[in-house]
Chain A
Amino acid sequence: MSVKTIFKVLIGTIVIIVLSSLTIEMFNISTTGLQVNQISRLSAKQAATLFSQETYKQIGEDGGAVNADNIRDSDGALYITGEFYDYDNATDIYNSMYTSNEFKNWMKSSAATKGNWYNLKLIDRALNNPRSLNVPFGSDGYEEAILAQKYKESMMTPSNLGIPYLDKAVLERMFQWNLAQLMSNTNPDNIKRDDNGVSYVAYKGFRIYANLATISRLEYKTFDLKNPGERVEFNRITNIDPDNINFHFDDRLSYVQGLGEEERNKVCIVGIEYDIPVAYEGITPIKNIFNFVVSNEVEGINSGSGRAAYNEWLDNTQKLQSGGLQGNDVEGVLPIPGKLIYYIIK
């Protein structure tokens, strides 16, 4: 074999490897990028559903659960905890979530004040203003105070009233857990550490930093379905035609109940926005080839003295932002960021 042939084969092999690697990466990004977006949306959506199912209340012989399994990385270290709540028993969990500043602030928000839900205010009163329940028997407001007390004892929540209030911290833990499990295929070997010692989930060439994923915003919006303009907006966001919901708005019933108005005509919707740090490292040896080439620069080349290799394949982390009430209008890091809403129709 001549020297010329050897060089031909050598250069040809390198060119073929590089070109085929780049081609495969193009295919991979164009298909897996969409999957990452869809899986992340599913994780957030299911987290909202799980939160509203209030599994912590159902502990008993029939089932129920407070915590899920912890997720560990390939070294066996804890990656994401399965302890979604700050406490282990239902009463403490309930009290902590609905006496928190987050809930109190939400009660003052425009979504809650616009809703003006009578029963929700009773829950808030029982939990956050318990002294107001000391009403003498037979006096005005006694029955209302008893009802509020009963709501507290039975651990009534906004979800039970059809109001999709979500505790951000708990939701975030559920979201991270769902994301890590789905992306890692429940296999700890797929949870690795980068050069900085930060763990990530390896998913088809992507690095998904599931433990750093956050619920960036919970945007609540309350619609008055008696208002024609708001009905149109409600229809646009939920695809539900309010004309056919068939609530049977009956003001006489509201009068008998003393509520002032039918509560079900105020529907609350929450748009869930989230951020996930992601990076792309590829599935082919192209990264290693690149690093090998740039790490072997000859010292002194290009008139540089003492020059060391400083180029490297940068695993730049980008924020995958998606969800929310208007998610479709935003171009994201990965294609087709969708909107993500959650609501309960009573």
Chain B
Amino acid sequence: MSDGVKYIFRTIFKVPIIILVVYAIFNVFAFSLTYFRLLGFSYVVMQTAVENNYIPPEEMNTLNKYLQSITDNGVVGDAEIVIRNEEDASILPADRRRQYGSPVTVGVKAQYKFIWPLTPKEQLNNTSGGFIGYGSNTRSFSGYASTSTLEARRKALEDNKNNNINITYTVIGLKYYSDLN
């Protein structure tokens, strides 16, 4: 094989690899930054719960505003403040007041969306084996999913969030409320 052809083949392999490596580095950076920001934020959420035994509505609004400000980008989705203990139903949700010493589970969870080249924005499994498309143009191409089908699939994915960042704490409230038993 001549050097010219070798060079072409080398370039063909090298360029996608370089692109993938660059994306990988970007993902490592973006994931780390997101994780550390959410980690810092989770401490604030925890401290708010310890100080009040729960997260009062005003504080919740402020915390949500800040959470939105740090997750309002293309790589983070479904970020929310955790107020329920999924494993122990005996612990009240953190939006309800309780007395000194009661446990409260709080934290933050979010989905980091890894960014790769040529990744479609919306990846919905096509269970029928046909094409996936937008709109209700089902007359011309029977393989397209209708709007309602797409909506149903989106809803199904929303209900099964894959939050790959989940930082929660179960702590006790350290405030005595004279109006509670």
From 233 to 272 in chain A, residues with beta carbon under 8 angstroms from any chain B beta carbon are: 236, 239-246
> In the complex, what distance in Å separates the CA atom of A240 from the CA atom of B54?
12
Q: Tell me whether A96 is interfacial, beta carbon within 8 Å.
A: no
> In the complex, how many angstroms separate the beta carbon of A15 from the nearest chain B beta carbon?
13
**Interface size of A in residues (CB-CB distance below 8 Å):** 26
Q: Which residues of A contact B178 (CB under 8 A)?
A: 240, 245, 345
Tell me how far the C-beta of B54 lies from the nearest C-beta in chain A, rounded to whole angstroms: 8
Using A27-B36, A31-B37 as known contacts, say yes or no to A241 and B179 having CB atoms under 8 A apart. yes
B66 part of interface (Cβ distance < 8 Å)? yes
Residues of A within 8 A of B62 (CB): 328, 336, 338
Bound-complex Cα distance A241 to B181 (A): 12
Q: Are B40 and A31 in contact (CB under 8 A)?
A: yes
Chain B contact residues: helix, strand, loop or mixed: helix
B177 and A34 contacting across the interface, CB-CB below 8 Å: no
- Bound-state CA distance A33–B40 (Å) is 9
Residues of B within 8 A of A236 (CB): 58
A23 adjacent to chain B (CB < 8 Å)? yes
B22-74 residues with Cβ-Cβ distance < 8 A to A are: 29, 32-33, 36-37, 39-41, 43-44, 47-48, 52, 56, 58-59, 61-63, 66, 69-70
The 8 Å CB contact of A242, one of B29, B43, B58, B179, is B179
Min Cβ gap B77→A in Å is 19
Q: A34-B43, A38-B44, A242-B179 are in contact. Are A338 and B59 (CB under 8 A)?
A: yes
Known: A241-B179, A328-B59, A336-B66. A27 touches B32 (CB 8 A): yes
CA distance A243 to B178 in the complex (A): 11
In contact, B179 and A240 (Cβ under 8 angstroms): yes
Identity of the chain B residue whose Cβ is nearest the Cβ of A335 in the assembled complex: B66
The number of residues on chain B lying at the interface, defined by a beta carbon within 8 Å of a beta carbon of chain A, is 27
A133 to chain B, nearest CB (A): 35
> Would you call B39 and A26 a contact (CB within 8 A)?
no
B177 & A26 in contact (Cβ 8 Å cutoff): no
Answer yes or no: B18 CB below 8 A from chain A CBs.
Answer: no
Residues of chain A contacted by B33 (CB below 8 angstroms): 23, 26-27, 30
Residue of A nearest to B177 (CB): A240
- CB contact under 8 A between A34 and B32, given known A242-B179, A336-B62: no
By the criterion CB–CB under 8 Å, are A23 and B47 in contact? no
The answer to whether A35 has its CB under 8 Å from any CB of chain B is yes
- Are A38 and B47 interface neighbours, CB within 8 A? yes
Q: Mark B61-96, 1 if CB is under 8 A from A, else 0.
A: 111001001100000000000000000000000000
List chain A residues, Cβ under 8 A from B44.
34, 37-38, 336
- The answer to the question of B5 belonging to the interface, with a C-beta cut-off of 8 Å to chain A, is no
The answer, yes or no, to whether B15 is at the interface (CB within 8 Å) is no
Q: Taking A242-B179, A328-B61, A328-B62 as contacts, is the C-beta distance between A31 and B36 under 8 angstroms?
A: yes
Most buried by B among A31, A241, A339: A31
The answer for the CA separation of A313 and B92 in the assembled complex, in Å, is 50
Footprint of A on B, CB under 8 Å? Answer: 29, 32-33, 36-37, 39-41, 43-44, 47-48, 52, 56, 58-59, 61-63, 66, 69-70, 97, 177-180
Binding site for B on A (CB under 8 A): 23, 26-27, 30-35, 37-38, 236, 239-246, 328, 335-336, 338-339, 345
Seed contacts A245-B178, A328-B58, A336-B62; 13 additional CB < 8 Å A-B pairs: A23-B33, A27-B32, A30-B70, A31-B37, A34-B43, A35-B40, A35-B43, A244-B179, A246-B179, A328-B62, A335-B69, A338-B48, A338-B59
**Could you jot down 23 A-B contacts, CB within 8 Å?**
A26-B33, A27-B32, A27-B33, A30-B36, A32-B40, A34-B40, A38-B47, A239-B97, A239-B177, A240-B179, A241-B179, A242-B179, A243-B179, A244-B179, A244-B180, A245-B178, A246-B179, A328-B58, A335-B69, A336-B63, A338-B48, A338-B59, A339-B58
